[in-house]
Amino acid sequence: MDSYIIITALVFLSAIFGYINVRVFKLPNTIGLMFITMLYTLGVLALSYFDDTLLNMEIKLINQIDFKEVLLDNMLSFLLFAGALHTNYQDLKILRWPVIAFATLGVLISTFLIGGAMYVLLELLGMQVNFIYCLLFGALISPTDPIAVLGILKKAGVPKKLETKIVGESLFNDGVGVVMFLIIYQIASSSSQTIGVIDVVKLLGLEVIGGVVLGLILGWLIYLLLKSINDFNIEVIITLAAVMVGTVIAEKMHFSGPLAMVTAGLMVGNDRSRLKKGSKKEKPSAMSDITRQYVDKFWELIDILLNAVLFVLIGMEMLVLVFKGEYIYAGLLAIPIILVCRYLSLLLPISFFKKKLNFVPKTNLIMTWGGLRGGISIALALGLSQEMHRDLFLVITYIVVVFSILFQGLTIEKLVKKLSE
């Protein structure tokens, strides 16, 4: 099965399931697509008791897709650039310090809290798992997923300031989370050589600082190119080329591609490049009105298409999981543990910035419930080796992600309304 057929099948399923969702379920697209895909997958499993032809075709399709590579190396850059492009830079600038604290300190604290709690839980369940592997799970499940968050918060009626905090955190903490995962992964994999603090700092600096600097350079180059011409066709292609070339450079230089794309997207979406001459505060405008419309609509379409394919893939991944009773039990118990650890990891940053920035009431509770997990966590879990208890942590991750998107995603709007009464 060649790549074109695989892509065609995924886009076809996305279109069919999207149509069913709009006509029947009327759920937010990300939730609806995954829900319908899971129903479809369960239907295929039920049908396999009579005829397993369709099941075998589905399994063959999924096995030929490297979910980790497709998401982390290909789709993520486009999704993050699109998300950052449509994020209000000025609002984010005001809240930059709490966002940075949530995306760094929050992820670090959450990683160790979840790692320690899961180590104790698995011991109680009679499963002997090294602490370093539990810590690895903590790193992959701690980042909130910007792809899931951006799609759901738009319809949830979250206060603007709080939405900016959650979206800003999600855009940056997945890059930090991936770096954290890679560091712990190297430590867990190095049986013969010891990785010291200096090695960790070097890797962290290379990934994070390198990614941000690359993003700044890309964003500035895009800005200069867009400012020098007025042709919306070429300008759209320039933004697309920048994301694709930037992703390749980040991979070759071992920089954080997600952080590079978020930084570049924020620079291109910066109000400075969107203000026309003649406004109250005259500033240089990189894009004309028509260019701005085409760039926005193009990246909005890219965002919708890739989101649709991603959540169809997440729903279909259940076909290749190794479900065991103890794995499912551990996954269900992990849900409240992860939510509590998320709440605790936000306490320090929120307490520090609360008075200075006038946070809305119950910020911690809303950020905890609105911090959805998604495809990034699954992709990282798929990168684990069998020695790291890949099957166990993959099932736990899948259960947490499904609960996060279906239950938290569907109830965040009700929670916000209830707390605002």
Predicted structure pTM score: 0.90
Pick the CATH number of 3-419 from 3.40.50.1980, 3.40.50.720, 1.20.1530.20, 2.30.29.30: 1.20.1530.20
pLDDT in tens, 348-379: 889 888 877 777 788 899 899 988 998 889 99
Whether the Cβ atoms of residue 64 and residue 341 lie closer than 8 Å to each other = no
**Mean pLDDT (whole number) for 325-345:** 96
Beta carbons within 8 Å of 199's beta carbon, 6+ residues apart: none
- Of 330 and 160, the one with more pLDDT: 330
Instruction: Name the pLDDT band for 277 (thresholds 50, 70, 90).
Output: very low
Number of residues written out for the chain: 421
Q: Nearest-CA neighbor of 86 among 240, 296, 383, 372?
A: 296
**Mean pLDDT (whole number) for 136-149:** 86
Q: How far apart are CA 37 and CA 413, in angstroms?
A: 23
φ and ψ of 108, to 5 deg: -60, -50
For residue 344, the model assigns a pLDDT of 96
Taking CA atoms, 183 is separated from 101, 112, 208, 213, 298, in Å, by 20, 14, 12, 20, 36
Tell how far CA 402 is from the center of its chain: 14
Instruction: Name the pLDDT band for 182 (thresholds 50, 70, 90).
Output: confident
The radius of gyration of the chain's CA atoms, rounded to the nearest angstrom, is 21
- Provide, rounded to the nearest whole percent, the portion of the chain with pLDDT above 90: 52
Instruction: Indicate whether 279 pLDDT > 80.
Output: no
Q: Count H helices, E strands: the chain? A: 20, 0
Domain ranges of the chain: 3-419
Q: Which amino acid is at 47?
A: L
Q: How far apart are CA 397 and CA 401, in angstroms?
A: 6
- Which tokens belong to 168? 């800003």
